[in-house]
Chains A and B, each alone.
Chain A
Amino acid sequence: MPRQQRRVVITGTGPIAAPGLGIEAIWSALCEGRSGVGPCSIFDASGFSCPFVAQLPPDRFDVRQVVPKSYRKATKVMSRDIELAVGAAHEAVRSAGLVTKAHEPADGRMTVPADRMGCHIGAGLIAAEENELTAALATSRKPDGGFDIAAWGATGMQNLTPLWMLKYLPNMLACHVTICHDCQGPSNTITCGEASALLSIGESMRVIGRGAADACLSGGAESKVNLMAILRQQFAGRLAKAAAGDDPTKTVRPFARDAIGGVAGEGGGILVLEAAESAKARGAAVLAELAGFAATQSFCPDTVGADPCRDGEGISDAMLAALQDAGMKPAEIDAVVPFGCGAPALDAAEAAAIRRVFGDRAASLPLVTLSPLIGNCGAGFGAVAAAVAVQCLQTGMLPARVNGDASLGVDAAPAAARKADLRSILVCTPSLGGQNAAIVLRRVA
Chain B
Amino acid sequence: MSEPRVVVTGIGWVTGLGHSIDGVWKRLLNAESGMEPTTRFDARTFPTSFAAEVKKDFDFRGFVKDPAVHASAGLNSQFALGACSQAWKQSGLDVKPPKDPRRVGIYLGAGEGVLDFDNYVGTMLHAWDAASGRVDGVKWAACGLAAMQRMKEIEQEPNMPLAHLAREFNCRGPAYNCLTACAASTQAIGEAFSILRRGDADVMIGGGAHTMIHPLGVTGFNRLTALSERKGDPTEASRPFSVDRGGFVMGEGSGMVVLETLEHATARGATPLAEVTGYGSSCDAYRITDIQPEGRGAAVAMLEALRQAGIDPAKRDGKGRPPIHYISAHGTGTKENDSIETKAVKRVFGEMAREIPMSSIKSMMGHLIASAGAVEFITCVLAIRDGMVPPTRNLKNPDPELDLDYVPNRARQARVDTCLSNNFGFGGQNDTLVVTRFRA
Interface residue ranges, A against B (CB under 8 Å)? 1-3, 5, 40, 43-48, 74, 77, 114-115, 118-119, 123, 125, 128, 130-131, 133-135, 137-138, 141, 145-147, 149-154, 157, 160-166, 168-172, 174-176, 178-179, 181-193, 199, 203, 206, 210, 212, 227, 230-232, 234-236, 294-300, 303-306, 314, 317, 431-435
Residue pair B141, A48 in contact (C-beta under 8 Å): yes
Chain A residue numbers with a CB within 8 Å of B221 are 165
Bin the interface of chain B by size: 35 or more
Quick one: which of B136, B160, B223 has the most chain A CB within 10 A? B223
Chain B residue numbers with a CB within 8 Å of A151 are 45
Give me 13 A-to-B residue pairs in the complex whose CB atoms sit less than 8 angstroms apart, sorted by A's number.
A2-B199, A5-B198, A46-B138, A47-B139, A131-B135, A141-B125, A153-B46, A153-B47, A161-B223, A170-B158, A171-B426, A179-B288, A187-B281
Chain A residue numbers with a CB within 8 Å of B72 are 303-304
Quick one: which of A128, A188, A210 has the most chain B CB within 10 A? A188
B window 161-194: CB within 8 A of A: 162-164, 166-167, 170-181, 187, 191, 194
Residue pair B199, A193 in contact (C-beta under 8 Å): no
Given known A147-B125, A150-B44, contact A203–B223 (CB-CB < 8 A): no
Residue pair A210, B300 in contact (C-beta under 8 Å): no
Task: Tell me how many residue pairs across A and B have CB atoms closer than 8 Å.
Answer: 300
Residue pair B199, A3 in contact (C-beta under 8 Å): yes
Chain B residue numbers with a CB within 8 Å of A119 are 283
B window 1-39: CB within 8 A of A: 1, 3
Q: How far is the CA of A164 from the CA of B133 in the complex (A)?
A: 18
Chain A residue numbers with a CB within 8 Å of B357 are none
Q: How far is the CA of A45 from the CA of B144 in the complex (A)?
A: 13
Residue pair A305, B163 in contact (C-beta under 8 Å): yes
Chain A residue numbers with a CB within 8 Å of B133 are 131, 135
Across the two chains, which residue of chain A brings its CB closest to B142? A47
**Complex interface: stretch among B91-99, B145-153, B242-250:** B145-153
Does B282 sit at the interface, judged by CB under 8 A? yes
Picked from A3, A141, A203, the residue with its CB within 8 Å of the CB of B191 is A203
Given known A145-B125, A149-B215, A236-B154, contact A184–B144 (CB-CB < 8 A): no
Given known A206-B194, A297-B172, contact A303–B164 (CB-CB < 8 A): yes
Q: How far is the CB of A26 from chain B (nearest CB, A)?
A: 27
Q: How far is the CA of A206 from the CA of B224 in the complex (A)?
A: 35
Across the two chains, which residue of chain B brings its CB closest to A123? B179
Chain A residue numbers with a CB within 8 Å of B162 are 192, 297, 433, 435
Given known A162-B224, A300-B163, contact A432–B157 (CB-CB < 8 A): yes
Chain B residue numbers with a CB within 8 Å of A188 are 178, 180, 187, 191, 281, 429
Residue pair B163, A231 in contact (C-beta under 8 Å): no
Given known A43-B135, A153-B43, contact A303–B69 (CB-CB < 8 A): yes
Chain B residue numbers with a CB within 8 Å of A232 are 153-154, 156
Chain A residue numbers with a CB within 8 Å of B285 are 114, 178-179, 181-184
Chain B residue numbers with a CB within 8 Å of A157 are 46, 219, 222-223
Q: How far is the CB of B430 from chain A (nearest CB, A)?
A: 9
Residue pair B286, A206 in contact (C-beta under 8 Å): no
Across the two chains, which residue of chain A brings its CB closest to B223? A162
Chain B residue numbers with a CB within 8 Å of A46 are 137-138, 141
Across the two chains, which residue of chain B brings its CB closest to A166? B288
Residue pair B427, A169 in contact (C-beta under 8 Å): yes
Picked from B175, B177, B180, B199, the residue with its CB within 8 Å of the CB of A296 is B175
Does B272 sit at the interface, judged by CB under 8 A? no
Does B236 sit at the interface, judged by CB under 8 A? no
Write out, one digit per residue, whether chain B residues 94-130 have a CB within 8 A of any chain A CB (1) or not (0).
0000000010011000001000001001101101101
Chain A residue numbers with a CB within 8 Å of B225 are 162
Residue pair B176, A199 in contact (C-beta under 8 Å): yes
Q: How far is the CB of A311 from chain B (nearest CB, A)?
A: 13
Residue pair A187, B283 in contact (C-beta under 8 Å): yes
Does B304 sit at the interface, judged by CB under 8 A? yes
Residue pair A1, B1 in contact (C-beta under 8 Å): yes
Chain A residue numbers with a CB within 8 Å of B46 are 153, 157
Chain B residue numbers with a CB within 8 Å of A165 are 219-221, 223-224
Q: How far is the CA of A189 from the CA of B426 in the complex (A)?
A: 12
Across the two chains, which residue of chain B brings its CB closest to A227? B140
Residue pair A235, B142 in contact (C-beta under 8 Å): no
Residue pair B145, A231 in contact (C-beta under 8 Å): yes
Q: How far is the CA of A192 from the CA of B180 in the complex (A)?
A: 13
Q: How far is the CA of A214 from the CA of B223 in the complex (A)?
A: 38
Q: How far is the CA of A190 from the CA of B175 in the complex (A)?
A: 11
Across the two chains, which residue of chain B brings its CB closest to A129? B135
Q: How far is the CB of A305 from chain B (nearest CB, A)?
A: 5
Across the two chains, which residue of chain B brings its CB closest to A168? B220
Across the two chains, which residue of chain B brings its CB closest to A126? B112
Q: How far is the CA of A175 from the CA of B292 in the complex (A)?
A: 13
Picked from B105, B142, B150, B282, the residue with its CB within 8 Å of the CB of A185 is B282
Does B155 sit at the interface, judged by CB under 8 A? yes
Q: How far is the CA of A118 from the CA of B187 in the complex (A)?
A: 14
